[in-house]
Structure 1
Amino acid sequence: MLENALIRGRRDHPAVLGDAVLIGPHAHINGATVQDEVFIATGVSVFPGALVGAGSELRINSVLHVNSRLEPGSTLPIGWIAIGDPAQMFSPDRHDELWAVQKPLDFPGTVYGVSRDESLRTILNQQVQFYGEHRQDRLIG
């Protein structure tokens, strides 16, 4: 793992990393499973419930969306988005096609535990409460 990379587990989605995984600067692995021998480049985002198959390569600023599975040996191009199970790959300009696959994967339910029509105010209040519970946490070791 290189500088400023973030690996975070979640209550329902632990972060699991296989052997020989290289995670580049400013990458974000959040509640996902990354199998063996995977290269994750600078600025990549991997969202909760996602699975990165062994031997895959996620190139600069690419995204593997919630509850999506990237097949072993896949290459996700620079700036592209992979979504679904198995993941389909989309260039950023194909938003309408992407949304048709993304919507049923339930980002707000997976990440925040709320329905898609919940207000942002409710989500933010929930996040404040969640992070507030860790106010007294202390760094160990």
Structure 2
Amino acid sequence: MLISHEGKSPKVDPSAWIAPDATVCGDVTIGAGTRVMHGARLIGEGGGAISIGRNCIVMENAVIRASARHDCSIGDHCLIGPQTHVTGAAIEDEVFVATGASVFHGARIGRGAEVRINAVVHIKTVLEAGATVPIGWVAVGDPAELFPADRHDEIWARQAPLDFPGWVYGLDRTKPGLMVEITRRLSDELGRHRTDGVE
């Protein structure tokens, strides 16, 4: 389903294919030969743009998002696996993001890299060309350091200074009522979908 959002409509190359139960909403550009499979969601919100290159495969139930603060780009010949989550990241050509992986705001993934099953690439993390994040591991920082998921304290020591609330929402983590402000802002921003139109 193609949906316009705030005056911006998806642009889909005629040779691309989008499953009828997938959603492509807002400022989204999809390149030649790309396939967006069943249940996938590509959502460009608040002026944020999504760009997907040529011959990419976006598998079932993947979620790709952009926001006013973070555009999202995926190069050519990329495979975005089922149930992945990619938000506001820049992914170069020939990257494999496997089932259940998550890639967050401001991350950059170099050409030919692999983010394997259930792995995480955190905000502002830079993964070099050809690198691999092993199954279930976490990549954090610039340059990326890799950690198994059971090393939470070490991950948090690298992640905390990246300041997720500040980077993503422009809010101070130490501010009282942080979640109240985050959810209020998100409610306002997501409420803008009330005027979306199916094309």
Q: Into which bin does the TM-score normalised by the smaller protein fall?
A: over 0.9
1-structure distance, mates of 2:109, 2:69? 17
Counterpart AA for 2:188:
Q
Identity %: 51
Say whether residues 1:95 and 2:118 are aligned partners. Answer: no
Deviation at 1:139, TM superposition (A): 2.6
1:75 to 2:132 alignment: yes
After the TM superposition, which segments of 4 or more aligned residues of structure 1 sit over 3 Å from their partners? Answer: none
- Aligned twin of 1:125: 184
Aligned length: 140
Q: What amino acid is aligned across from residue 116 of structure 1 in structure 2?
A: R
Q: Does 1:109 align with 2:135?
A: no
Task: Return the alpha-carbon distance in structure 1 between the equivalents of residues 198 and 109 of structure 2.
Answer: 30
Structure 1 residue corresponding to 2:196, chosen from 125, 132, 137: 137
For 2:198 and 2:111, how far apart are their aligned partners in 1? 32
* SS at 1:135 equivalent: helix
2:145 aligned counterpart, secondary structure: strand
Question: 2:90 is matched with which residue: 33, 38, 43?
Answer: 33
Q: Which amino acid aligns with 2:182?
A: I
**Offset of residue 73 of structure 1:** 0.4
Residue 65 of structure 1 corresponds to: 122
Unpaired runs of 5+ in structure 2?
Answer: 1-57
> Aligned with 1:4: secondary structure?
coil
Give me the whole-angstrom Cα distance separating, in 1, the residues matched to 2:69 and 2:163.
14
Contact kept in structure 1, 2:116 and 2:134, CA below 8 Å? yes
Q: Which residue number corresponds to residue 64 of structure 2?
A: 7
Over residues 57-92 of structure 1, what are the superposed CA-to-partner deviations in whole Å (9 max), with x where a residue is unaligned? 110010000011001101101111101001100111
Q: Which runs of 5+ in 1 are unaligned?
A: none
Q: Secondary structure at the match of 2:146?
A: strand
Amino acid corresponding to residue 24 of structure 1 in structure 2: G
The higher radius of gyration belongs to 2
TM-score scaled by length of structure 1: 0.96
Determine the C-alpha separation between the residues in 2 that align with 1:50 and 1:131: 23
Contact 2:105 2:124 in 1 (8 A): yes
Aligned-residue Cα RMSD (Å) equals: 0.9
Task: Give the partner amino acid of 2:186.
Answer: Q
Cα-to-partner distance string for 1:104-127 (whole Å, 9 max, x where unaligned): 111111112211123211111111
CA distance in 1: counterparts of 2:108 and 2:119, whole angstroms:
14
Taking structure 2 as the reference length, what is the TM-score of the superposition?
A: 0.68
More strand by share: 2
- What whole-Å deviation, never above 9, does each CA across 1:19-74 have from its counterpart, x for those lacking one? 11000000111000000100110011000000011110110010000011001101
